[in-house]
Amino acid sequence: MAEYTLYLDESETEHSSGKKYFCIGGIIVENSYHNNDLTNKLNNCKKHIWSKDTDYDKHIIHELEINEAHERHFSGIEKYNKMFCIQKNYNRAYQEMAYIISDTNITTIGVSLCVDTIDLYYGKNLANNKFTICMQLLIENFCHFLMKNNSTGSICYEELQTKQNGSILKKYNQIYYSGTMFYPHSIVQKCITGLEFKNKRENITGLQIADFIPNDLARKHAGMTAKFNKTHKNIQLRLYDGGINRKDRFGSKKIS
């Protein structure tokens, strides 16, 4: 039986209206494919991006740093990312990621919410934490995916600060032991084998690809222009549809 991993990252973007949109999103990929074919494919993309660097495969693709370099905000970013201040290099990075995300062995998934709307409807500081809301729905849809594929899987979340990791883990455990809106805890525990945090510097293929998902989904939810149209189209193309052509429910769930 194949085993899958859901690689996750999060992002928050602000619309010109002042409304904030938060998203947790990423990719689902089968483990053996991830460790072999997909990693090789990503390294080939890195070779195209950093064609003059012999150690290209050690570089970490990081969307935030690519955009900070493009906007010439160089403080704190890796030296090898400063090349993205040049438009053709910036475009090449997104073109390569668009190619990677188009891989039919990748499934994109995410949950986004309008922070201001939730605060307005349910009371600021009274409603569930935005991580809790998004993670519950993500776990629910990941379980759906795993059952459809007669499989089990784990979650790999990009490491944050220790306090934030602890908070996310606590919320995950609450869901793991109490279940979600549609699935009891027995289904969650049967499908999902655990959650772990990994540092971006560990050069994990899935986390580098997942890095491009949540901001794109949050921007779409907010009605904002995509960073790069081809990457956006492929993220939308690969969204999980639950086997019933419902990407809006199982792939990119929006809470407004």
Rounded to the nearest 5°, which phi and psi values hold at 11? -155, 150
pTM of the model: 0.95
Region 200-214: mean pLDDT is: 95
Number of Cβ within a 10 Å radius of residue 69: 23
Residue whose structure tokens are 């945090």: 197
> pLDDT, tens digit, for every residue of 177-197?
999 999 999 999 999 999 999
pLDDT tens profile 25-41: 999 999 999 999 999 99
The full set of domain ranges for the chain reads: 3-255
Which 8-state DSSP code applies to residue 100? H
* pLDDT higher than threshold 80 for residue 126: no
Distance CA 48, CA 23 (A): 30
Nearest to 79 by CA among 89, 70, 69, 71: 69
* pLDDT greater than 80 at residue 1: no
Q: CA-to-CA distance for 153 and 191, rounded, in angstroms? A: 6
Check residue 51 and give its pLDDT: 92
Taking only the tens place, the pLDDT of each residue in 138-169 is 999 999 999 999 999 999 998 888 888 898 89
Instruction: Tell me what the pLDDT averaged over the chain comes to.
Output: 94
CA–CA dist 144, 182 (Å, integer): 10
Task: Give the DSSP letter of residue 15.
Answer: -
**What is the SS3 assignment for 110-129?**
EEEEEHHHHHHHHCCCCCCC
**Are 175 and 135 within 8 A, CB to CB?**
yes
pLDDT at position 131 is: 87
pLDDT for res 149: 96
At 151 the pLDDT is: 97
Q: What is the mean pLDDT of residues 118-124?
A: 88
Residue 168, φ and ψ in degrees, nearest 5: -65, -45
pLDDT tops 80 at residue 254: yes
Percentage above 90 pLDDT, the chain: 84
Q: Each residue of 47-84: pLDDT tens digit?
A: 999 998 999 999 999 999 999 999 988 888 999 999 99
Residue whose C-alpha is closest to residue 112's, from 224, 238, 201, 227: 224
pLDDT score for 129: 83
Q: Do residues 68 and 211 touch, judged by C-beta distance below 8 A?
A: no
Q: How far apart are CA 97 and CA 65, in angstroms?
A: 14
List the single range of 28-42, 124-138, 207-221, 235-249 with lowest mean pLDDT. Answer: 124-138
